[in-house]
């Protein structure tokens, strides 16, 4: 009899179901035990609806692709009957989802059990999960450090063995960067691959839901379950792999892999660049051809991103007007006063800061200089990738320029925090896909080891190609066998 | 070309936010720094370049005009801070 399942992968738990060693009901009960034992320090979860999970487990059909597998959910994806607070006081204790996001409906039709609500930066705005309106989540490898963000809870629970796998969302790196900091696999699908219906919108032209898992094989399986064209999201596209594991054959001989020269600059931590250089050698030894490429507009990606993302956010977050849902301030003078007081009490600092920046760049007299200009530079950034992918199958870089920082180290300087997203956010601007997989560890002065992530970017709709590369790399190395919790 | 001065109080009003004095001070400092940084985009020649609104443009998404069940007012009102007579209730808007 197994007495803990939190460290198993999707593939491993499926095997246990088919061997009959555990049932889905056992699995959910054991997972609840694991969370009660191990989540007190790390604090990945905001809440767990035990009853509904156990009920779904009792009805689970293990013959389905994800039958009986509990999947933990970032707190901005609607699951009918469960809270969906986006880790914001705006929605705390007051909002229960009245419908399933399409990604959740797809998970359920594949037999999976949406399980628990995961901490995040409020409305997905942040890179550390310190901007949660509820509590701080800690990095499972070193509890004095941040797990990354905004999907910090989604990455920390998988690394801490308190979830089999999870869903996060990625607007500028919010899946890949925490996956990198926590030593797990995180995939941002190409724009449109996963329906955004039921995902609380941050920046609609950039947002994508994606999996955080213990292997690229798991990411492929989970992606194929949630992906698909959806009449409820007109930007969604048909990009579903019907047999997701068939392409992960470990063979990357002859693959052309590009190394962008603009990414390997002085700002990068030398420990991180050492790990990446070793990873590039490993890919070469597996038969890939390494080619230097250029992405000339790299230096402009952060500026472009923060104009576009905040502009879209300021429009999207206008829906929080305290009329239909959300926090409502008491005794307002009039309706305008009610909007203002409710929004000012409900939103945290980073959210207000970004709404104001976004409102400013869209305001009369500034719209052309900032927003339209940024959209034009976005075209150039996207063209850089189109040209690069004429020459190479995939592009490799670090996921983040450093390893996870200490809690509190970053929060005072928003610009510095934004600059840390340099390697990830161009993928969102360009709509391409990207995966982060662990490629080594850096020892700290306090005798801890911190994971480093390797980012592999691919052209739109080429998820199976980048997952083939990350899977081959994982099979050739043993980084995923290192566990944060012994 | 464009200054990086931001009147945070004015913009907050447009965004229906009410800020404390210390928030106004902090945001003015931080946003001025960010706007000064993003001014680097002025160095990029974008003449003749079309703006990108969506990275993966999808055109003419149409569907058959078939009626289907809506959300229902019970569901819609479930999370309302205040409701009455099957409607959302807000302070008086028109005198």
Q: What is the pLDDT of residues A83-119, one digit of tens each?
A: 999 999 999 999 999 999 999 999 999 999 999 999 9
The pLDDT, as a whole number, for residue A267 is 72
Active site residue A150: yes
Pairwise CB contact (< 8 Å): B30 & A415: yes
The pLDDT, as a whole number, for residue A252 is 97
Distance from the Cα of B38 to chain A's closest Cα (Å) equals 5
**Residue A133, domain CATH:** 3.90.1300.10
In chain A, the largest separation of any two C-alpha atoms, in whole Å, equals 70
Active site residue A342: no
Has residue A80 been placed in a domain? Answer: yes
Provide the domain limits for residue B15.
1-43
Q: Give the count of domains, chain B.
A: 1
Has residue A177 been placed in a domain? Answer: yes
Q: Which residues of B touch A378 (CB under 8 A)?
A: 51-52, 55
pLDDT over 60 (residue B1): no
- Which residues fall within 8 angstroms of residue A81, CB to CB, at 6 or more apart? A49, A52, A96, A97
Distance from the Cα of B82 to chain A's closest Cα (Å) equals 8
Pairwise CB contact (< 8 Å): A98 & B31: no
Has residue B32 been placed in a domain? Answer: yes
| Pair A199, A169: CB distance under 8 Å | yes
Q: Give the count of domains, chain A.
A: 1
pLDDT over 90 (residue B59): no
> Kind of pairing, strands A70-74 and A166-170?
parallel
B5, B14, B16, best to mutate vs chain A, most A CBs in 10 Å: B16
A90, A231, A356, best to mutate vs chain B, most B CBs in 10 Å: A356
Provide the domain limits for residue A457.
10-258+390-481
Lowest mean pLDDT among A268-277, A355-364, B2-11: B2-11
CB-nearest partner of B93 from A299, A318, A335: A335
Active site residue A475: no
Has residue B55 been placed in a domain? Answer: no
| Pair A441, A450: CB distance under 8 Å | yes
The pLDDT, as a whole number, for residue A215 is 98
User: Of the candidates A188, A162, A165, A164, which has an alpha carbon nearest to the alpha carbon of residue A176?
Assistant: A188
Distance from the Cα of A141 to chain B's closest Cα (Å) equals 32
User: Of the candidates A105, A187, A146, which has an alpha carbon nearest to the alpha carbon of residue A406?
Assistant: A146
The pLDDT, as a whole number, for residue A486 is 73
Confidence of residue A268 (pLDDT cuts 50, 70, 90): confident
Pairwise CB contact (< 8 Å): A325 & B81: yes
Q: What is the pLDDT of residues A309-335, one digit of tens each?
A: 999 999 999 999 999 999 999 989 999
Average pLDDT of chain A to the nearest whole number: 96
Has residue B82 been placed in a domain? Answer: no
CA A75 remoteness from chain centre: 12
Has residue B76 been placed in a domain? Answer: no
Has residue B11 been placed in a domain? Answer: yes
ipTM of the complex: 0.95
The pLDDT, as a whole number, for residue A269 is 87
Return the residue of B nearest to A429 by Cα.
B55
The pLDDT, as a whole number, for residue A418 is 83
Report the C-alpha gap between A403 and A27 in whole angstroms: 33
Lowest mean pLDDT among A237-241, A447-451, B84-88: A237-241
**Residue B9, domain CATH:** 1.10.20
| Mean pLDDT of all residues in B6-23 | 97
Q: Which residues of A touch B35 (CB under 8 A)?
A: 357, 360
| Mean pLDDT of all residues in A352-359 | 98
Has residue A360 been placed in a domain? Answer: no
Has residue A178 been placed in a domain? Answer: yes
pLDDT over 90 (residue A11): yes
| Mean pLDDT of all residues in A190-213 | 97
Has residue B9 been placed in a domain? Answer: yes
The pLDDT, as a whole number, for residue A416 is 79
| Pair A245, A211: CB distance under 8 Å | no
pLDDT over 70 (residue B45): yes
**Is B15 at the interface with chain A, CB within 8 A?**
yes
Has residue B15 been placed in a domain? Answer: yes
Pairwise CB contact (< 8 Å): B17 & A352: yes
| Mean pLDDT of all residues in A61-82 | 98
pLDDT over 70 (residue A411): no
**Is B51 at the interface with chain A, CB within 8 A?**
yes
């Amino acid at each position: 009899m197994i007495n803990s399942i939190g460290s198993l992968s999707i593939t491993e738990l499926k095997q246990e179901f088919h061997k009959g060693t555990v049932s889905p009901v056992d699995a959910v009960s054991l997972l609840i035990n694991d969370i009660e034992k191990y989540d007190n320090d790390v604090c990945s979860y905001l809440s767990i609806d035990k009853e509904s999970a156990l009920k779904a487990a009792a009805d689970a059909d293990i013959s389905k692709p994800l039958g009986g597998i509990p999947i933990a959910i970032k707190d901005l994806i609607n699951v009918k009957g469960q809270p969906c607070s986006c880790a914001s006081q705006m929605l705390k204790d007051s909002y229960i989802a009245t419908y399933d996001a399409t990604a959740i409906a797809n998970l359920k039709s594949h037999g999976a059990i949406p399980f628990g609500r995961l901490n995040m930066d409020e409305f997905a705005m942040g890179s550390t999960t310190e901007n949660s309106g509820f509590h701080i989540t800690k990095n499972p490898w070193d509890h004095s450090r941040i797990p990354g963000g905004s999907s910090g809870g989604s990455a920390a629970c998988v690394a801490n063995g308190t979830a089999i796998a999870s869903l996060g969302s990625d607007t500028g790196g919010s899946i890949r960067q925490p996956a990198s900091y926590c030593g797990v696999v995180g995939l941002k699908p190409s724009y449109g691959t996963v329906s955004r219906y039921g995902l609380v919108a941050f920046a609609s032209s950039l947002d994508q839901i994606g999996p955080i898992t213990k292997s690229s094989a798991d990411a492929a399986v989970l992606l194929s379950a949630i992906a698909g064209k959806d009449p409820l999201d007109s930007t969604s596209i048909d990009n579903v792999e019907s047999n997701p594991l068939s392409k992960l054959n470990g063979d990357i001989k002859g693959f052309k892999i590009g190394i962008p020269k603009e990414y390997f600059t002085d700002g990068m931590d030398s420990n991180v660049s050492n790990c990446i250089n070793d990873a590039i050698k490993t890919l070469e030894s597996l038969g890939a051809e390494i080619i230097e490429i250029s992405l000339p507009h790299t230096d402009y990606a952060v500026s472009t991103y923060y104009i576009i993302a905040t502009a879209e956010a300021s429009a999207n977050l206008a829906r929080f007007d305290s009329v239909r849902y959300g926090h409502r301030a008491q005794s307002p003078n009039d309706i305008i006063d009610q909007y203002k007081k409710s929004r000012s009490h409900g939103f945290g600092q980073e959210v207000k800061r970004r709404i104001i920046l976004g409102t400013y760049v869209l305001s009369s007299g500034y719209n052309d200089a900032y927003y339209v200009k940024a959209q034009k530079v976005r075209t150039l950034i996207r063209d850089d990738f189109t040209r690069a992918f004429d020459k190479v199958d995939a592009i490799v870089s670090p996921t983040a320029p450093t390893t996870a920082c200490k809690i509190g180290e970053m929060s005072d300087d928003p610009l510095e925090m934004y600059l840390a997203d340099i390697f990830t956010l161009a993928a969102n601007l360009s709509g391409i896909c990207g995966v982060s997989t662990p490629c080594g560890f850096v020892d700290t002065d306090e005798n801890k080891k911190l994971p480093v992530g390797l980012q592999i970017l691919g052209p739109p709709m080429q998820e199976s190609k980048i997952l083939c590369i990350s899977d081959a790399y994982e099979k050739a190395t043993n980084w995923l066998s290192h566990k944060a919790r012994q | 070309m464009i200054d990086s001065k931001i009147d945070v109080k004015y913009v907050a009003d447009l965004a229906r936010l009410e800020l404390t004095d210390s928030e106004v001070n902090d945001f003015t400092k931080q946003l001025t720094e960010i706007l000064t940084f993003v001014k680097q985009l002025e160095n990029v020649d974008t003449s003749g370049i079309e703006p990108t609104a969506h990275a993966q443009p999808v055109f003419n998404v149409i569907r058959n005009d078939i009626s289907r069940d809506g959300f229902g007012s019970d569901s819609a009102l479930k999370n309302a801070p205040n409701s009455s007579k099957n409607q959302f209730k807000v302070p008086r808007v028109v005198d």
